[in-house]
Structures are given as structure tokens and as C-alpha cells.
Amino acid sequence: MKSSLTIGTRGSKLALWQAEWVKSELVRHHSGLSVAIEVIKTTGDKILDVPLAKVGGKGLFVKEIEEALIEGRIDLAVHSMKDMPGEMPEGLWISSIPLRETPYDVLITKNGCPVEDLRNGAVIGTSSLRRASQLLHFRPDFQITGLRGNLDTRIKKLESENLDAIILAAAGMKRLGMAARVTQEIAPDIILPAVGQGALCIETRRTDNPVNEMVSTLHHEDSARAVLCERAFLKLLQGGCQVPIAAFATVSDDGNGLSLTGLVAEIDGSIIYKDNITGTADEGVFLGERLARRLIKRGAAAIINRLLEQASKQ
């Protein structure tokens, strides 16, 4: 058993909160353990004036942290699961998935107006193609504008850029004690969450048994079953931030069943391929892949291939 560990993380307030939470849980479970946190700047942190879909590539918020993990400069990485691409570098793996926080998106407005009642032509800030496409499918009259930066910056832009509303992840707002700013938690039938949204990812070297054993104390099995089902859906579709893809899985109350809803959309929301599949809790990867193939047969592949081709030419 190791006496000290180094966690690698991004430097945003939310990322640091997540790393500090993992640190406190590890110290609580392992008496005498010393844990340090190393901040690592990622590509996604460096490029703030370009929409994520135009930056391109996979792992915009994890690549440099994974490199530090491979090189042995850190012992484990703490990520937001929704930032994790479907494919992972050789030798690394998701060793622990703690209890998932609320996975939904939230609306923040200046006047407390819910999404259904926003004015015609309302201007909504988000840089997520997933959120934008579903909003436009729900209300084609909405005007979508890009929104980058940390939570504080995005909320300030609600006023400074004269927006009617912004869309953020509920989990981040709760973790940073900002839930009171939320106008509305958006139902998944309006905006289906991102793959892994609300969950943390603890990434380690696959062969580092002492570290893997230590972080296993933070693992929550039902959260992992749901998240890994969603990630199987994403991996087979081979989508990134250039394609509007969403998936949300839930484990039944008795722990035996699993339900997955997934979608692929046109950027403007004009077409959405969406479906649901159910099965047993231990066949999550199978269900994720099966639902992905179902959407591909219905026409999702044409959207994915076209958007990825367009992104490669930018």
C-alpha cells in the first residue's frame, strides 16, 4: 500500500473541487495517506475563443493529463466523465466511478422564466452541439450563441452579453454550491444528457495494482453500470464534440435492470434519431452497442460521417 499519491487534474474551480473530493475520500478510507494535487493545463483550457466543435480532436480536456499519467508524473487522474473520449490510451483504464451526481442540464435565466416560456427568438448561450441541437428541435425559434469558460464566466455572460438564458450541467452547479442560481432542471425528454454527465472518472495505469486497490474504495457499482453502458454507445458511434450525441442509462431500483436512451441529431435539430433499450444490469456494454447499431441503421451514420468529414476539413 502506497503512503502518498499525486492526483492530476485541470485547474478550473470545478475540476479542483472534484480532485479535492477524491483526495478527501482517499484520506478518509486510508489512514496515514498523503495526497497531493497537480494542476495540468489541457488543450481545451488553452483555447477559449473557439467553439469546441471547431477545435477538433478527441480528449481536449484529458490528453495532457493522460500523458502525465503514462509518464508516471501522477498516480491517478480525476476527470469529468463527460470529457472522456470513447477510446482510451493503451495501458490506462477507468478504475473507479464514484456515486453519480444529478446528470441533467439546467437552465439559468435572468427573469426566472422556464424554457417552455422563453420569448420567441430567445438567445441562449451554449457551446455544446448536443444541447443546441435538442433545444432547436424543441423550439426552432431559439437563437443559439457560443458560450465558453468556467461556470462563473458563463453566468456573468448571461448579463454582459445580453442573453436570455444559458444551459449548464446541474452537477457542476451543485458541486460548487451554486444550485440557488438554477432556474429550471431540464427534463431529459427535452435535453438528453451527455454520456457520463454528472459522473467522475478516476483514471489510473491498468497495471498499478496498489493504486487501483486504493481507489476501488470510491467505486459505486450502479453508477458504473449506467455510465459504462452509455460509453459503449458512444464508442461504437465513434463520435466526439463535433457530433450531437447523447445517452442516459439508469439502473432499476432493484439493481437488476438497465434502461438506456440514446440519440444522434443534426446540428440544427431538424432530424433526431432517438431510441430506448432495456435489459439486465450486467449487459450494459451489449445494450449500448446494440442501441448504437439500431440508430446507425435508421440513418445516424450519415449524420456522423458528414459532420466528422466537415470537421476534418476545418
The per-residue DSSP string of 70-85 comes to HTTS-SEEEEEGGG--
DSSP state of 164: S
Confidence band (pLDDT; 50, 70, 90) for 109?
Answer: very high
46 pLDDT higher than 90:
no
Distance of CA 201 to the CA centre of its chain: 10
CA separation for the pair 258, 251 (Å, rounded): 5
Domains of the chain (ranges plus CATH)?
1-99+199-219 (3.40.190.10), 105-185 (3.40.190.10), 221-314 (3.30.160.40)
CA separation for the pair 32, 2 (Å, rounded): 10
Looking only at the bridges linking them, the beta strands covering 92-96 and 165-169 are unpaired
* pLDDT tens profile 247-262: 999 999 999 999 999 9
Q: How many Cβ atoms from other residues are within 10 Å of residue 178's Cβ? A: 17
61 pLDDT higher than 70:
yes
* pLDDT tens profile 171-181: 999 999 999 99
Cα angle 178-179-185, degrees, rounded to a multiple of 5: 140
Q: Mean pLDDT throughout 86-99?
A: 96
Distance of CA 216 to the CA centre of its chain: 21
Cell numbers describing residue 221: 457499482
CA separation for the pair 140, 135 (Å, rounded): 8
* pLDDT tens profile 290-311: 999 999 999 999 999 999 888 7
From the candidates 45, 75, 83, 253, give the one annotated as an active-site residue.
Answer: 83
Confidence band (pLDDT; 50, 70, 90) for 111?
Answer: confident
167 pLDDT higher than 70:
yes
CA separation for the pair 176, 14 (Å, rounded): 7
Distances, alpha carbon 126 to alpha carbons 102, 105, 134, in Å: 19, 11, 12
Distance of CA 86 to the CA centre of its chain: 11
Instruction: Report long-range pairs for 67-74 (Cβ below 8 Å, ≥24 apart).
Output: 68/8, 68/38, 68/40, 69/8, 69/203, 69/204, 69/205, 70/205, 73/6, 73/8, 73/38, 74/6, 74/7, 74/8, 74/38, 74/40
Please indicate whether residue 83 is annotated as part of the active site: yes
22 pLDDT higher than 90:
yes
Contact between 166 and 156 (Cβ < 8 Å): no
How long a stretch of residues is the chain? 314
Among 274, 230, 277, 273, smallest CA distance to 249 is for 230
Among 44, 80, 274, 52, smallest CA distance to 170 is for 80
